[in-house]
């Protein structure tokens, strides 16, 4: 995953990769951001947890309702007050809400 | 329901709704049954509380880092995406530019979620929410 390329996404404040267990493996932070490597480490762990929960919910929803279209999941995002974290697979990008292009970010992560 | 109606007017929005408190009080429009809307409300409330809990942990490590209070979340499925902002949710098709449009509209119409999420959710029932909760 080319993190520098991810940093070119609109509003990107940070980009990071993590293991299947949620260990932060690599990261890039925009200079001047309030984010720290420690927050990214916690974010990475929450990303793994949230993707797993969303996957379980998607599988259950499709089984119970018969409505398809969720699986396989293409990502998850948490929208904070000032920024959002967008993740898919083992990579995440933090984008400023004001400038965020969620579709472009999800697409870039999938193409990653 | 005004926000729900506005969302449903956008081509590609499959269903939209609003939920409160335990997730079992809800209203919705679109291609869901009552039972599925009830389930969606419970899932949305559970996920909203979960990501809020996470944001409080982040905030304790880096105060005012910009994540708290959480405004919403997105699950990007293969063909369908779920957007949740505050106590509103929308099921939308994965069409070009639709996700950005829906998120912009939801953020603008719902407004910033205040600090105490549970009070915010519970307030939809009316009455003295502080007294009822605490």
Q: How far is B75 from chain A (nearest CA, A)?
A: 5
Residue B108 has pLDDT above 60, yes or no: yes
Backbone angles phi, psi at A37, to 5 degrees: -55, -35
Do B74 and A76 count as a contact with CB atoms less than 8 A apart? yes
ipTM of the complex: 0.96
Please give the model's pTM, rounded to 2 decimal places.
Answer: 0.92
Among B38, B105, B119, B75, residue whose Cα is nearest residue A57: B75
Does pLDDT of B67 surpass 90?
no
DSSP element (H, E) containing A110: helix A102-111
pLDDT in tens, A21-57: 999 999 999 999 989 999 999 999 999 999 999 999 9
| CATH number of the domain within which B13 lies | 3.30.450.30
Question: How confident is the model over A58-112, as pLDDT tens digits?
Answer: 999 999 999 999 999 999 999 999 999 999 999 999 999 999 999 999 999 999 7
The count of domains in chain B is 1
Q: Which among B67, B75, B78 has the least Cβ separation from residue A80?
A: B67
- Domain borders along chain A are 3-111
pLDDT in tens, B49-63: 899 989 988 888 888
- Top pLDDT among B127 and B115 is at B115
State the Cα–Cα distance between residues B115 and A55, nearest whole angstrom. 28
CA dist., res. B48 & res. B62, Å (int): 21
CB contact under 8 A, B67 and A75: no
The boundaries of the domain holding residue B100 are 2-133
Contact present, B89 and B17 (Cβ < 8 Å): yes
Sheet holding B88-93, edge to edge: A24-29, A12-18, A91-96, A83-88, A75-79, B72-76, B80-85, B88-93, B13-20, B25-30
From the list A36, A64, A69, the residue facing B77 with the nearest CB is A69
Cβ–Cβ pairs < 8 A, chains A and B: 121
* Cα-based torsion angle of the residue sequence B125, B128, B130, B134 in order, rounded to the nearest 10 degrees: -90
Mean pLDDT of chain A: 95
Task: Please check the confidence at residue B127 and state whether its pLDDT lies above 70.
Answer: no
How many residues in chain A?
112
Of the candidates A43, A67, A77, which has its C-beta nearest B74's C-beta?
A: A77
Is B47 in contact with A82 (Cβ distance < 8 A)? no
Tell me the CATH number for domain A3-111: 3.30.450.30
């Amino acid at each position: 995953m080319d993190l520098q390329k991810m940093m070119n996404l609109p509003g990107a404040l940070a980009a990071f990769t993590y293991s299947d267990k949620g260990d932060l493996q690599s990261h890039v932070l925009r200079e001047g951001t309030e984010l720290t490597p420690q927050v990214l480490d916690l974010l990475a762990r929450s990303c793994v947890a949230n993707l797993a929960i969303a996957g379980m919910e998607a599988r259950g929803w499709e089984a119970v309702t018969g409505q398809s279209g969720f699986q396989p999941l293409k990502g998850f995002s948490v929208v904070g007050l000032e920024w959002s974290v967008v993740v898919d697979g083992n990579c995440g990008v933090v984008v400023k809400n004001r400038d965020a292009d969620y579709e472009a970010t999800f697409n870039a992560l999938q193409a990653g | 329901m005004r926000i729900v109606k506005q969302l449903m007017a956008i081509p590609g929005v499959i269903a939209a709704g609003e939920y409160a408190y335990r997730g079992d009080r809800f209203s919705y429009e679109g291609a869901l049954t009552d039972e599925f809307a009830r389930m969606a409300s419970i899932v949305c409330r559970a996920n909203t509380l979960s990501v809020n809990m996470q944001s409080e942990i982040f905030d304790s490590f880096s105060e005012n880092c910009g994540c708290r209070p959480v405004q919403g979340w997105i699950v990007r499925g293969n063909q369908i995406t779920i957007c949740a902002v505050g106590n509103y949710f929308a099921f939308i098709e994965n069409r070009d530019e639709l996700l950005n449009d829906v998120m912009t509209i939801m953020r603008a119409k719902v407004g910033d979620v205040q600090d105490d999420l549970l009070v915010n959710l519970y307030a939809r029932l009316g009455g003295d929410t502080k007294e009822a909760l605490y």
